[in-house]
């Protein structure tokens, strides 16, 4: 960071509805990201350039031409102050280049004392190339960008390329950004905004969904470590996702000019690639001679700007540094990190370690991590006793384990952020230490089964004609990868009472529920997720057990014990069908249609159980108009009324309407759909013409010039007549329609279902490979 007399802005305390300001140089993407944030939060978007024009009656260029540069700077600061004062809540503010003067930066620094102010950065070379800057202009712009660091309290690295809109910020308009905004950057920024605003991902997820529980409240969580230098030298491995870690620890081992921007970029890349929490740490002091106390403090403060989930802070640092970081941490969880490299015998019984935990809690740490090399196997027993004692005596969350080969047993029983070796690329993890000292998730779970901490359970897919199902090979492949000694099989069911009999066995682990028993399962549940409650059907059953202390326990405690056998006293129901539809559509929507979801129309064919999950998914996407066509019009009206009532109660922007089967023409007041979902059997059509069978869909309904996504719920055959019609239309007319097969939906919902049933993160590549292998050797229903 360049030398300056200005001090970084570190305060991150603000009310939930505090307005968010975006700053950065021309071409960074402020306006585009501002529109994204405003739409996501349902807030008003205010552009400083347009506000200046509204207040003064002049565009900035015209004002400078008429009144001169000095008067412009003075007036610009006045208008900026006025804009911030009058839009302090419920807005997203794009501040343009208002920060070029010292006075404007002072105004923004003051605003940042009680509001999020985000510095938007991009690859500077791309910006300078796009703007065709010469050497002096590049130097001036880079210097100007560095100044933004000192009047902001957050930083977002925009990984977007030059297609992202405001390279030409001088031509500011009130219209949304160019529709070429890429989907990835939209999702990146939405996740960033959700984090700094403390917004949950899916508000209605139950305790059996991993996304509903922070790492601290799970039975186990695993972390893989990688150095910054390694990331800069290697691309992210494609198989990383199969290692199953719940978090990734980035060790910042480089400290030189330009390192900060590299840190910001690599964290953004990790977030996009893995979509799991990020832990940031500094190397051990003995391995970083140039890591002075001043560099340490400034680096830790910088990292807090980046929206990371966890920050490891050495407990040996000065208490003033600790208190400052804890005061400035914002939404980040700070973990106090204590390492005892040369422990005495039975070191875990030393009262000084208890005192260390007590002091950490008093200072304000939420979590503490303590480690030492194991000198003897007794240390593994001692550390379990230590962790249990601290958990009972103090409110601080404790992570405690031994390192080295002898310490592997303690890591098996550690609950939070257990360090693991990547199962496919050990060279990327813990590169300074002997990989043989590290355990994989499979090592840890196998050990837990060996000592009866976990029990072998039976999982099923239950229903009619489920012999073709690809769920068993997908789940069994994941079980094998993680060392989970469970089995997943299909069972043909004639009556729902058979399902209840299977679910009542002590070793029942859970089941996927197939046609025609999803509504019966819904009615049989003792408890269910809000998702299932709203949809009205269940495709996932999980046993609720009488625990060893004969306590029925809370749902969260039940989730904590889901890999244990025992007497079944009830059933928990969830629905992952909607998520399979949701993520499949989201992954295939074009950037243009993704940006326009708040104006998009969707068509759903059918109004049965599958259609209810589809409509729920479309409402979660915040699709504006959802049109339901069904042969029995009354059923379509009933479904529309149900979801309209829910959308209104939840203040959701979607509206559901029924399209009478007798009406063949598309309603004139609606734009043609960009999402079409067929919930009918593969050979069925709602557009029959007396005795002559028509195409599944009139081709005119596919005529939206922006194209869209066509989804078939049925997957026998994989390419149904409906999808084949859409593909033929796309080839003939050149309109960019993308398809989602029923197999695609099965895969996505199975990922979520695996996490709900097992409590482990789904290994996506392994389950995909199992699915593709299975579809090659069996006929899909």
Percent of the chain with pLDDT over 90: 68
Instruction: Compute the average pLDDT of residues 390-419.
Output: 95
List the Cα angle 70/72/78 in 5-degree steps.
110
> What three-state secondary structure class fits 182?
coil
* C-beta neighbour count of 73 within 10 angstroms: 17
Question: Per-residue pLDDT for 266 more than 80?
Answer: yes
Does pLDDT of 423 surpass 50?
yes
Residue 453 has pLDDT above 70, yes or no: yes
Identify the CATH assignment for 458-575 out of 2.60.40.790, 3.40.640.10, 3.30.365.10, 3.40.50.10860: 3.40.50.10860
> What is the rounded CA–CA span in Å between residue 168 and residue 190?
23
Comparison of pLDDT for 175 and 136, the residue scoring more: 136
Query: Does residue 437 contact residue 403 with C-beta atoms inside 8 Å?
Result: yes
Note the pLDDT of residue 670.
86
Residue 474 reports pLDDT greater than 70: yes
Say if CB 376 and CB 407 are below 8 A apart: no
Q: Provide the percentage of residues in the chain whose pLDDT is more than 70.
A: 88
- What pLDDT is attached to residue 659? 87
Burial of 625 (0-12, 13-18, 19+ CB in 10 A): buried
What are the φ and ψ backbone dihedral angles of 778, each rounded to 5 degrees? -140, 155
Q: Which numeric CATH code is attached to 210-450?
A: 3.20.20.70
435 vs 414: CA distance, rounded Å: 19
| C-beta of residue 277 within 8 angstroms of C-beta of residue 254 | no
* Per-residue pLDDT reduced to its tens digit, 594-626: 878 888 999 999 998 899 999 999 999 999 999
**φ, ψ for residue 174 (rounded to 5)?**
-90, 0
CATH 1.10.3720.10 given to domain 579-740: no
CA distances from 533 to 522, 610, 635, 750 (A): 8, 14, 19, 20
Q: What is the pLDDT of residues 213-248, one digit of tens each?
A: 889 988 899 999 999 998 888 766 555 666 788 999
Check for a shared fold between 20-196 and 210-450.
no
As a whole number, the mean pLDDT across the chain is 88
The pLDDT value given to residue 96: 78
Q: Please tell me the predicted confidence (pLDDT) of residue 552.
A: 56
- The Cα-based distances of 137 to 142, 145, 166, 697, 748 in angstroms read 8, 12, 18, 56, 48
Q: Where are the domains of the chain?
A: 20-196, 210-450, 458-575, 579-740
In angstroms, rounded to a whole number, what is the distance separating the alpha carbons of residues 29 and 318?
39
Assess whether pLDDT exceeds 50 at residue 781.
no
More confident residue, 710 or 438: 710
Write out the two tokens for 746: 């099965």
Write the Ramachandran bin of 703: left for phi over 0, alpha for psi from -120 to 50, otherwise beta: alpha
Tell me which CATH code domain 20-196 carries: 3.40.50.300
Let me know: does 127 contact 25? Beta carbons within 8 Å.
yes
Checking if the pLDDT of 575 tops 50, the result is: yes
Rounded Cα–Cα distance for residues 426 and 438 (Å): 9
Query: What is the pLDDT, as a whole number, of residue 663?
Result: 75
d(CA 693, CA 116): 59
């Amino acid at each position: 960071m360049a030398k300056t007399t200005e001090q970084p802005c570190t305060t991150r305390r603000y009310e939930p509805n505090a307005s968010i300001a975006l700053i950065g140089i021309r071409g960074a993407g402020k306006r585009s990201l501002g529109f994204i944030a405003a739409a996501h939060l349902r807030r008003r978007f205010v552009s400083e350039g347009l506000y200046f024009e509204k207040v003064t009656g002049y565009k900035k260029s015209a004002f400078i031409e008429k009144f001169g540069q000095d008067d412009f700077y003075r007036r610009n600061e006045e208008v900026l102050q006025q804009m911030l004062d009058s839009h302090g809540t419920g807005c997203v503010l794009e501040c343009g280049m208002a920060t070029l003067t010292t006075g404007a930066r002072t105004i923004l620094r003051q605003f940042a004392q009680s509001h999020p102010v985000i510095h938007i950065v991009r690859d500077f070379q791309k910006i300078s190339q796009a703007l065709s800057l010469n050497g002096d202009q590049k130097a001036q712009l880079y210097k100007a960008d560095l100044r933004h660091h000192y009047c902001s309290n957050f930083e977002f690295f925009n990984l977007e390329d030059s297609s992202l809109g405001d390279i030409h910020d001088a031509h500011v308009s009130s219209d949304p950004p160019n529709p070429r905004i890429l989907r990835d950057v939209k999702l990146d920024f939405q996740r960033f905004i959700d984090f700094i605003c403390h917004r949950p991902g899916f508000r209605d997820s139950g305790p059996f969904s991993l996304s509903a529980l922070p790492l601290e409240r799970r039975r186990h969580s695993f972390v893989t470590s990688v150095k910054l230098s390694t990331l800069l030298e290697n691309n992210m491995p494609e198989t990383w996702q199969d290692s199953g870690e719940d978090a990734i620890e980035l060790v910042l081992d480089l400290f030189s000019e330009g390192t900060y921007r590299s840190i910001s970029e690599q964290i953004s890349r990790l977030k996009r690639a893995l979509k799991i929490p990020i832990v940031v740490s500094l190397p051990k002091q003995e391995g970083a001679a140039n890591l002075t106390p001043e560099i340490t403090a400034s680096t830790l403060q910088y990292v807090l700007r980046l929206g990371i989930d966890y920050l490891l802070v050495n407990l040996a640092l000065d208490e003033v540094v600790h208190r400052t970081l804890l005061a400035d941490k914002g939404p980040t969880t700070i973990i106090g990190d204590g390492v005892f490299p040369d422990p005495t015998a039975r070191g875990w019984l030393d009262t000084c370690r208890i005192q260390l935990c007590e002091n950490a809690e008093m200072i304000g740490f939420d979590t503490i991590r303590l480690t030492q090399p194991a000198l003897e196997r007794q240390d593994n027993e001692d550390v379990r006793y230590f962790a249990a004692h601290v958990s009972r005596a103090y409110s601080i969350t404790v992570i405690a384990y031994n390192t080295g080969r002898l310490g592997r047993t303690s890591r098996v029983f550690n609950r939070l952020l257990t360090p693991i070796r990547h199962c496919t690329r050990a060279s990327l993890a813990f590169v300074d230490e002997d990989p043989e000292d590290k355990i994989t998730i499979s090592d840890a779970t196998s050990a837990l089964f060996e000592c009866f901490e976990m029990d072998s359970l039976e999982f099923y897919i239950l229903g009619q004609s489920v012999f073709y199902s690809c769920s068993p090979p997908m789940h069994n492949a994941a079980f094998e990868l993680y060392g989970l000694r469970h089995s997943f099989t299909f069972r043909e069911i004639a009556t729902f009472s058979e399902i209840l009999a299977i679910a009542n066995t002590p070793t029942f682990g859970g089941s996927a529920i197939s046609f025609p028993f999803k509504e019966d399962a819904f009615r049989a549940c003792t408890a269910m997720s809000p998702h299932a409650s709203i949809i009205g059907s269940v495709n996932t059953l999980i046993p609720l057990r009488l625990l060893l202390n004969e306590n029925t326990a809370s749902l969260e405690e039940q989730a904590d014990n889901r890999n244990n056998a025992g007497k079944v006293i009830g059933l928990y129901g969830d629905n992952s069908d909607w998520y399979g539809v949701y993520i499949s559509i989201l992954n295939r929507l074009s950037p243009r249609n993704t940006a326009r979801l708040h104006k998009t129309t969707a068509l759903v064919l059918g109004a049965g159980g599958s259609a209810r999950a589809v409509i729920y998914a479309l409402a979660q996407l915040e699709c504006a108009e959802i049109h339901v066509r069904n042969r029995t019009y009354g059923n379509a009206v009933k479904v529309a009324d149900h979801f309209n009532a829910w959308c209104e109660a939840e203040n959701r922007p979607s509206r559901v309407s029924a399209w009478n089967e007798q009406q063949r023409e598309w309603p004139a007041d609606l734009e043609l759909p960009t999402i079409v979902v067929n919930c009918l059997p593969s050979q069925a059509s709602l557009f029959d013409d007396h005795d002559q069978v028509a195409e599944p869909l009139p081709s005119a309904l596919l005529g939206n010039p922006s194209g869209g996504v066509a989804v078939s719920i049925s997957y026998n055959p994989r390419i149904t007549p409906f999808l084949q019609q859409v593909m033929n239309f796309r080839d003939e007319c050149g309109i960019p329609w993308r398809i989602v097969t029923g197999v695609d939906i099965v895969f996505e919902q199975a990922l979520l279902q695996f996490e709900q049933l097992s409590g482990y993160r789904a290994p996506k590549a392994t389950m995909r490979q199992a699915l593709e292998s299975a579809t090659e050797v069996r006929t899909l229903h």
